Amino acid sequence: MVMVEQPRYTPVELIRITAEYFKTKEIDAPRLEAEVLLAYLLDVDRLKLYLDFDKPMTQDEVSGYRLLVRRRAHGEPTAYICGKREFWSLDFEVCPGVLIPRPDTEVLVERALEVMGDRGTFLEVGVGSGAISTALLKERGGWSGVGVEISPDAAGVAARNIEKHGVAERYELLTGDLYEPALGRTFKIIVANPPYIPTEEIGGLDREVSMFEPRVALDGGRDGLDIIRRLGQGAAALLEGDGYLLLEFGAGQGQAVKMIFEEIGSFDLVELLKDYSGRDRVLRARLG
């Protein structure tokens, strides 16, 4: 019997081959994604891959990596494959029932922190993985928070993330529709990154989003603004005097969102704030 020697790949070779393959699949940041998947498989820090660059991998490792690469090439987001995503320099568990937190949403956190004094209670609507609430609680030790999430799957993930980051004793997580579970209470701050994609546009998004992320986290109705309108209309009942509502919206929705809040008439300050690329992405409105 002739034994055929299998090629013994080093991490660096595998990363190079995979990055080339990912390029053909139009995956953004192909090399980075190849590295992240390999680091996940080998359970090492990404930079450590280059320390052992000339050590060949075992056949089992190469086969395991092939499976991960195949899933990514079929569009599955790396964050779902690895079960985690970083936000605000913290690791968050994610899975297909929960939106992957985006770097852009850190702007919402920064802008909320600007108007949060030493103590108070905030409300987050649409908690998802719990990324925003966790970041706010980590930054403001004198604050407590209440979160509302409609998806039981997402609420389960949020509960684990909030526990893992050691802020659970200052947080109450409620399941339900928008403000409803929190009615009768008041808050200094309300924050939300609501679903804001127009229904018709969801199918045209990158397949990583349209095929893998939960629709309830994306779909904002016909013009994308259904949930934002409801958030604006209900806010006065839950905000303390001078309290702020902050929400993220999609690029290009700024003027429409501002008009919604000005027409409601309960707010004496309605500002549009920009993301890191200079686009209006956050609304901050103060109850008059």
- Residues forming contacts to ligand SAM in the complex (CB under 6 A) are 99, 101, 105, 125-129, 131-132, 148-151, 154, 177-178, 193-195, 216-217, 227
The CB-of-236 to ligand SAM minimum distance in angstroms stands at 18
The CB-of-126 to ligand SAM minimum distance in angstroms stands at 2
| DSSP state at residue 142 | T
Which one, 31 or 164, has the nearer CB to ligand SAM?
A: 164
The CB-of-143 to ligand SAM minimum distance in angstroms stands at 17
Which has the closest alpha carbon to 138: 100, 176, 87? 87
| DSSP state at residue 197 | B
Which one, 49 or 127, has the nearer CB to ligand SAM?
A: 127
Question: By CB neighbour count within 10 A (0-12 exposed, 13-18 middle, 19+ buried), where does 70 fall?
Answer: exposed
Which one, 57 or 79, has the nearer CB to ligand SAM?
A: 79
The CB-of-219 to ligand SAM minimum distance in angstroms stands at 8
How far is it, in rounded angstroms, from Cα 104 to Cα 243? 23
Which one, 64 or 221, has the nearer CB to ligand SAM?
A: 221
The answer to whether residues 145 and 136 touch, using CB atoms and an 8 Å cutoff, is yes
Helix (H, G, I), strand (E, B) or coil at 138: helix
Q: Helix, strand, coil % (nearest 5) of the chain?
A: 45, 20, 35
The answer to whether residues 14 and 65 touch, using CB atoms and an 8 Å cutoff, is yes
Which one, 11 or 234, has the nearer CB to ligand SAM?
A: 234
The CB-of-249 to ligand SAM minimum distance in angstroms stands at 11
